[in-house]
Chain A
């Protein structure tokens, strides 16, 4: 989690474009890419690294 109130900038791993993440973004959080709509997982915060999120699996849920 970041303490800064400023948005966090990161590179979209699919398009390479710079995208803005919420200031309170967490490792493990899933972000919808504003460029492609693809689900991206936050892998690390320092530096900010995003990867394409795993596909939904059959036993996911509550």
Chain B
């Protein structure tokens, strides 16, 4: 099949994917979004014959726009722009999880430092202030006192981009020194790991130590539902254990849509890129079937074969 990879930086994750795709003789079109233009009807990127495009943009803004344009041309793209839209914004992410009755940390959004201060005081100390768009634990603040809250809010209001004036305030979850990252494809877990640290931020990007984690039935159910809540796709679902390690109770704090998996691949016995490519092949085949059905409806039988596997 012909697979497009939207990117602006090839990380280890993209190298793992590219290597697996090449091993299976798929034809790959690397699309550097920095070099392309996206018009209302067409793009300079050569996407017409692609069976599937995989969004691996490092930049959230580029990811959201590029996938939306490709989707408008009828190019199958994962993850979908709808999923990206929900996952890229922590407030939308929290709303989607809550609307699906998935346990998620109590959260409030406020638009001025005065109302943000009221939210912080109502949560009590410590609580957490996060940017609505951001990753890798950057610019996250655990607020331990009113003095700290006042300083952080003033800095954000004075120095920040307008998005920093959307104050996203969350209860502090006293997790057992670790959280859980699950890589899932349309709600089906590929692999899971814990990320442990003495620091309150346990992200692998912050140096958290990783170890494999066996999902119990409760976690499996939450991963499936969290994926569905954001529209499905190749996702990183983040959970925290509440009530201590091994309690079997979880809260889902985030779902990531351009998920990194190199740390998980290293920590897990599962061949993560192979499993992801299995899923991509199934998505491409499904998109081709859908396209063929549409083409059949238009009376163009010859187009039905266009989505079949084309090997390099």
Contacts and interface: CB of A to CB of B under 8 A. Distances in A.
Residues of B in contact with A, size category: 20 to 34
Given A28-B7, A29-B10, A30-B9, A59 B133 contact: yes
B59 A62 contact: no
Given A60-B58, A62-B236, A30 B11 contact: yes
Interface residues of A, number: 17
Nearest to B18: A26
Contacts of B260: 62
A30 B139 CA distance: 24
B256 interface: yes
Chain A binding surface SS class: loop
A58 interface: yes
A15 B60 CA distance: 32
Contacts of B256: 62
Interface string B247-288: 000000000111110000000000000000000000000000
Contacts of B138: 58, 61
A46 B187 CA distance: 42
B10 A61 contact: no
A4 interface: no
A23 B18 CA distance: 15
Contact of A60 (B18, B30, B135, B259): B135
B60 A60 contact: yes
Nearest to A22: B15
A12 interface: no
Given A59-B134, A61-B135, A61-B136, A1 B60 contact: no
B10 A59 contact: no
A19 interface: no
Nearest to B257: A62
A26 B257 CA distance: 23
Given A53-B9, A62-B136, 9 more contacts: A28-B10, A41-B9, A58-B131, A59-B60, A59-B61, A61-B138, A61-B258, A62-B135, A62-B260
A39 B309 CA distance: 37
